[in-house]
Structure 1
Amino acid sequence: MAPTLRTVVRRLPLQLVVLAGQDALDRPVRWVAVSELEDPTPFLEGGELVLTTGMRLDAANAAPYVGRLVGKGVTGLGFGVGLGHETIPDELVEAAARAGLPLIEVPRDTPFVAIGKAVSDLIAAEQYDELSRAFAAQGRLTRAALRPEGPRAVVERLARELAGWAVLLDDAGVPRHAAGKGAADVAHALAPELERLRRLAKRGAPASLALSTPREHVIVQPLGVGRARGFLAVGLDRPFTPVAHTVVNAAGSLLTLAAEHGGQHLAAERRVRSAVLRLLLEGRVRAGRETLERLGERLADGPLVAVVSGAPAEEREAVLEAAGEEFAAVEDDRVVLFVPEARLDGVLARLGGHGPVGVGSPVGLDDLRTGLDQADRALVAARRGAVPVMRFADLAGQGLLSLLDPAAAAAFSTALLDPLRKYGARADLLASLRAYLACNGHWDAAAQRLGVHRHTLRYRMRRVAELLGRDLDDPAARAELWIALAVAD
């Protein structure tokens, strides 16, 4: 931050006197410009302390001169007396007072170069102080990053350092840690901007963004190398200073390191859990438990319920977090959990909203494969029925057909019964077969149901057996035909 004009004026060796604009002395002085031009504004940027001896100033052009300086945004005007003018013209003092432009009398014994050196020294001192504060803040952020709660501590420290708010979001834009007033309300508002940053990151163009309103200034940085593993959003009620930008960048670097390290650690843990899952399904429970213990985790004692989540890839991390202390592993296109029955309802509640879920029946540790098969079947039914949770116990209660894939069952039924349909309408072979099977092969009962003589039914059944190439006395053949008829119905 540049020194203020008040600070410059108070430098005793300069002996400067303020004649107008005393209320505007807290403006920053970004540089000193010496000019005797009647219009020096083409050579100014704004924020300068302009020094002149007034060689081209008189009563007529004093007000226009001041107006041009004010329009350019200069910080103040220093007028050197004792050369072109013994005193500052009254017209210039009055014009500066009306415009609110600080007007400073510079005595003849004070060289303009001395003022320039003083401002330069003050700017250098301010820059050194900014760097010192930035380094001190970086140190505090680094110490926060080394704490057990790492990312959360960095976010909280950052909010305190800047006296604003800070939010750490995951790659899906979900807030993970937030600190500072108003931090919890920003995630939804930033969703469109986060999506834009994701698109830029996919094209290999890492970028951050800055948003400004009269009341708030926001910076959002993607975290990660190669792809966004999350986002850091920081907001202030004032513009960001260079120090603030430095502190935000330092926090972003620390969080990126944590995200990358955490990503590698999580990937390794996922591979271990997948290996443990294979051990458990092979019946090698002891080996699986010992492997988990090396991760500092344990498999609960049985019986356990297999839970399978069909969450999309981008939500599987959330499913793993929702699993809490329960065993969970990513396998193929699903997440597999083994949960004690007493804690099942709590886990299912946390999994809500992350895709369909299949739930098996409680099984012992030596029979986890059966439990997983049940959960997989329930997941298929949940997807097919567009329901959030399907339990195998409920599925089994709906009959054997509910366990079959609809397309495969329909194809099986069509292929098996097609010869009877092609035979024609001379005899209703399908209806006769259905009645015969429903009456467990009892001729009289089936014939009575159809309203035909039992010899007619016997003839029809011989024809069915010939067309299908099946022995109707074989229980297996009867079962297949009954399933085919049920599917056709």
Structure 2
Amino acid sequence: MPPSLSRVIALSRLGLRSLTEAPKDVPVRWVSVSELEDPTPFLEGGELVLTTGMRLTPENAAGYVARLVERGVAGLGFAVGVIHDKVPPELVEAAREQGLALLEVPKPVPFIAIGKAVSRMLAAEWYEDTTRAYQAQRELTRAALKGPGPLITRLARELGGWALLLDPSGAVRNAEPARARRRAAALAAELPRLRGTASVSLSEGGGGSEGDHVVLQAIGLNKRPRGYLAVGTPEPLPHVGHTIVGAAVSLLTLKSETPRTGRALRAELAAHLLGLPEETPTPHRVLAASAATSASGATSASGAEVLDALEADPAGERCLAVPLDDALAVIVPDALTDQVVALVAAYGSVGVSAPASGADLERALREAEQALAAARRTGRDVLHYGDLPGQSVLGLMDPGPAQGFAEALLAPLEAEGLVPSLRAYIEANGQGETAARTLGVHRHTLRTRMQKAARLLGRDLDDPAVRAELWIALALSANHDGPIGHPGD
């Protein structure tokens, strides 16, 4: 707020002396110097008018004061020792009768010194208001991240009053303090007034009570409000108070107008969980992004950074993410794949599945994990499952029967723990020395294992056709760590 007249008088370096008992708590909005007999056409109200009394006479003093009072000036400063040795008694008497604050300005004090002093005080007040508004907006933003309730609580604290968040029907959503809820009934009658305007100010019996000054604002950008914000304070809101309320309305509007871009994805997920048919399945892909996790399974700093990047981007808001053991799985609408891949690839390797929908998402997750494992080994930033060698052949197979074939073929080896050794042997294209070195065992140990595997399978592992069948079975089975079918093998 602008400085009060009493604060200006209190500046000892100016030497101002009050000659009347008029209230001094009025704000001084500016300083105006005028020697006109009627300066009011050039005033807006709230000024401290300074004059030497050049055109002042005993006859026109009363009229001069009356015009200043009617214009609403903050006060009149009269310089002595220039035209008049002292303030004319007729002017003092008129000021006392009409309630005008009259100040004596000593001769050594130039008018420009008073103007500069008030200007500095106004600048300080403006800076203080700006700083307070900035700090309040920052606190409101921090509170808004936790939800509308904490935002309303913080707003009431910033204003030193109460605050209500109402839904479109006028029912209370949040109130601070809780007793402010009882004001909703009186405010409900005022809501129709907001259909043609952004805000309504009330006081006393006009919707407020107990002498409170109330501001009621609509929330939302459309003609039909998504809710209403009401705040009440003992005194009328200053300019900075209106700025703070405006910031709260903006935050609430932003929340209420956020596009429902993820609605379709959530509906499909709900249908899948409930076993309901999907009316219009939307193709999605699953990304497996590098993200370390803690021993408890909570996403660590790197994983949190990926999640933050997703939540901060409009494309990321349309995705669903879940931490895995050493990665982050992200379900992405197919059309946004490139955008989301670019977001998460900045934090590590990414594996991308083929398009899928509904029940196929489990298969897509396996594909993404396989692609990520290959990307990590080969040092690639992004690798699509379709780019893995052999996937075009595997894609021709019916997933159900193919998976059953793989599980049945490998079951005897799974029971004996021979699948890792077989995988290394197939990867090495039947070269026992290479496979043994990969496994870190003696070549005779590997030979014994492969002989046992051949007996269990009833097949000759030196036969290329047999090894081809086994390669397909291994590629179809869970293959998170092995490089079967991955580039560089």
TM-score, length of structure 2 as denominator length: 0.51
Write the distance in 1 (CA, Å) between the matches of 2:263 and 2:235. 38
Extract unaligned runs of 5+ from structure 2. 205-210, 279-489
Task: Check 1:64–1:145 CA distance in 2 against 1; reply closer, same or farther (3 A cut).
Answer: same
SS of the aligned residue for 1:6 comes to: helix
- Which of 189, 195, 211 is the matching residue for 2:201? 211
Write the distance in 2 (CA, Å) between the matches of 1:95 and 1:181. 52
1:466-477 to structure 2, matched below 5 A, reads none
1:161-200 to structure 2, matched below 5 A, reads 161-180=158-177, 183-195=180-192, 197=194
AA of the residue aligned to 2:14: L
Task: Check 1:161–1:266 CA distance in 2 against 1; reply closer, same or farther (3 A cut).
Answer: farther
SS of the aligned residue for 2:175 comes to: strand
Write the distance in 2 (CA, Å) between the matches of 1:268 and 1:42. 65
SS of the aligned residue for 2:84 comes to: coil
Task: Check 1:211–1:271 CA distance in 2 against 1; reply closer, same or farther (3 A cut).
Answer: farther
User: Which residue of 1 is the match for residue 101 of structure 2?
Assistant: 102
Structure with bigger helix share is 1
Write the distance in 1 (CA, Å) between the matches of 2:30 and 2:9. 14
User: Does structure 1 residue 11 correspond to structure 2 residue 11?
Assistant: yes
SS of the aligned residue for 1:114 comes to: helix
Offset at residue 256 of structure 1 (A): 2.3
Write the distance in 1 (CA, Å) between the matches of 2:193 and 2:268. 32
Q: Deviations over 1:397-429 (max 9, x none)?
A: xxxxxxxxxxxxxxxxxxxxxxxxxxxxxxxxx
User: Does structure 1 residue 154 correspond to structure 2 residue 151?
Assistant: yes
Q: 8 Å contact 2:52–2:83 — kept in the other structure?
A: yes
User: Which residue of 2 is the match for residue 243 of structure 1?
Assistant: 240
Write the distance in 2 (CA, Å) between the matches of 1:265 and 1:254. 20
Task: Check 1:32–1:267 CA distance in 2 against 1; reply closer, same or farther (3 A cut).
Answer: farther
User: Which residue of 1 is the match for residue 43 of structure 2?
Assistant: 44
AA of the residue aligned to 1:94: E
RMSD across aligned positions (CA): 2.7
Q: Deviations over 1:28-75 (max 9, x none)?
A: 101111111222222222111111111121222222222221122111
Q: 8 Å contact 2:199–2:218 — kept in the other structure?
A: no
User: Which residue of 1 is the match for residue 405 of structure 2?
Assistant: none
Q: 8 Å contact 2:40–2:67 — kept in the other structure?
A: yes
Write the distance in 2 (CA, Å) between the matches of 1:189 and 1:277. 45
Write the distance in 2 (CA, Å) between the matches of 1:194 and 1:267. 33
User: Which residue of 2 is the match for residue 130 of structure 1?
Assistant: 129
Q: 8 Å contact 1:141–1:154 — kept in the other structure?
A: yes
Q: 8 Å contact 1:208–1:219 — kept in the other structure?
A: no
Q: 8 Å contact 1:37–1:56 — kept in the other structure?
A: yes
Write the distance in 2 (CA, Å) between the matches of 1:173 and 1:7. 44
User: Which residue of 1 is the match for residue 216 of structure 2?
Assistant: 220
AA of the residue aligned to 1:6: S
Write the distance in 2 (CA, Å) between the matches of 1:271 and 1:119. 65
Question: What percent of counterpart residues are identical?
Answer: 53
Write the distance in 1 (CA, Å) between the matches of 2:264 and 2:235. 40
Write the distance in 2 (CA, Å) between the matches of 1:183 and 1:267. 38
User: Which residue of 2 is the match for residue 20 of structure 1?
Assistant: 20
1:189-338 to structure 2, matched below 5 A, reads 189-195=186-192, 197=194, 207-214=197-204, 215-226=211-222, 228-261=225-258, 269=266, 272-274=269-271, 276-277=273-274, 279=276
1:399-414 to structure 2, matched below 5 A, reads none
Offset at residue 192 of structure 1 (A): 4.5
Write the distance in 2 (CA, Å) between the matches of 1:280 and 1:187. 44
Offset at residue 24 of structure 1 (A): 1.3
Write the distance in 1 (CA, Å) between the matches of 2:202 and 2:239. 16
AA of the residue aligned to 1:3: P
Offset at residue 195 of structure 1 (A): 4.3
AA of the residue aligned to 1:176: R
Write the distance in 2 (CA, Å) between the matches of 1:181 and 1:55. 61
Q: 8 Å contact 1:164–1:181 — kept in the other structure?
A: no
Task: Check 1:143–1:194 CA distance in 2 against 1; reply closer, same or farther (3 A cut).
Answer: same
Task: Check 1:168–1:130 CA distance in 2 against 1; reply closer, same or farther (3 A cut).
Answer: same
Offset at residue 16 of structure 1 (A): 1.4
Count of paired positions:
272
Q: Deviations over 1:177-220 (max 9, x none)?
A: 011375212333333443454x55xxxxxx41213224343323
Q: Deviations over 1:221-257 (max 9, x none)?
A: 3323446332222222322211111111111122223
SS of the aligned residue for 1:97 comes to: helix
Q: Deviations over 1:359-418 (max 9, x none)?
A: xxxxxxxxxxxxxxxxxxxxxxxxxxxxxxxxxxxxxxxxxxxxxxxxxxxxxxxxxxxx
AA of the residue aligned to 1:168: L
Offset at residue 85 of structure 1 (A): 0.3
Write the distance in 2 (CA, Å) between the matches of 1:182 and 1:158. 16
User: Which residue of 1 is the match for residue 80 of structure 2?
Assistant: 81
Task: Check 1:65–1:225 CA distance in 2 against 1; reply closer, same or farther (3 A cut).
Answer: closer
Write the distance in 1 (CA, Å) between the matches of 2:225 and 2:269. 25
AA of the residue aligned to 1:119: V
Task: Check 1:246–1:9 CA distance in 2 against 1; reply closer, same or farther (3 A cut).
Answer: same
Offset at residue 272 of structure 1 (A): 3.7
AA of the residue aligned to 1:219: V
Q: 8 Å contact 1:81–1:106 — kept in the other structure?
A: yes
SS of the aligned residue for 1:178 comes to: strand
